Amino acid sequence: MNLLGSLAATLVLLFCGAAMADTSADTEVNYLLEFVEASGCVFHRNGSDHDSADAADHLRLKYRRGGKYVNNADQFIERLASESSWTGKAYTVTCDGVTRPSGEWLQEALDAYRQGAS
């Protein structure tokens, strides 16, 4: 194979790898968004309470607008789903009377999803 053919093959492999990584990230983030929506928990954001459907919609909006800043679901949690990008205040979630940081809660859900998927 000549140099040009080798370069083309390398670019195809890189492109396919990047596309697969994006697909994996999108799959996991979409799982988390569905998890949030179905949770029935109360989300606390910037001093206001939101039901799970509103919280999922808000996180979907943040992912649509800020998805270019994340390469995987872990970064989605860390960079978009744990705190307000406007105020810097941490998001919290209350499920079954227990309030905790949303990032911690989402990371546990993602870890459980990954264990079930393997």
In a domain, 6, yes or no: no
Q: Is residue 70 part of a domain?
A: yes
> Does 29 map to a domain?
yes
Q: Which residue has the tokens 């195809």?
A: 12
Instruction: Give the residue numbers spanning the domain of 104.
Output: 23-117
For residue 10, tell me if it sits in a domain. no
What is the per-residue pLDDT across 79-115, written as a single tens digit (0 to 9) for each? 999 999 999 999 999 999 999 999 999 999 999 999 9
Q: How many folded domains does the chain comprise?
A: 1
Residue 29, burial from CB neighbour count under 10 angstroms (0-12, 13-18, 19+): buried
pTM here is: 0.79
Comparing 63 with 2, the larger pLDDT belongs to 63
Report the pLDDT value the prediction gives residue 22, as an integer from 0 to 100: 53
d(CA 94, CA 102): 9
pLDDT digits (tens, 9 = 90+) for 19-32: 434 578 999 999 99
- Buried b / exposed e across 36-63, counting CB within 10 Å, b at 16+? bbebebbbbbeeeebebebbbebbeebb
- Give which of 63, 44, 60, 40 is closest to 52, Cα–Cα: 40
Q: What is the mean pLDDT of residues 38-52?
A: 97
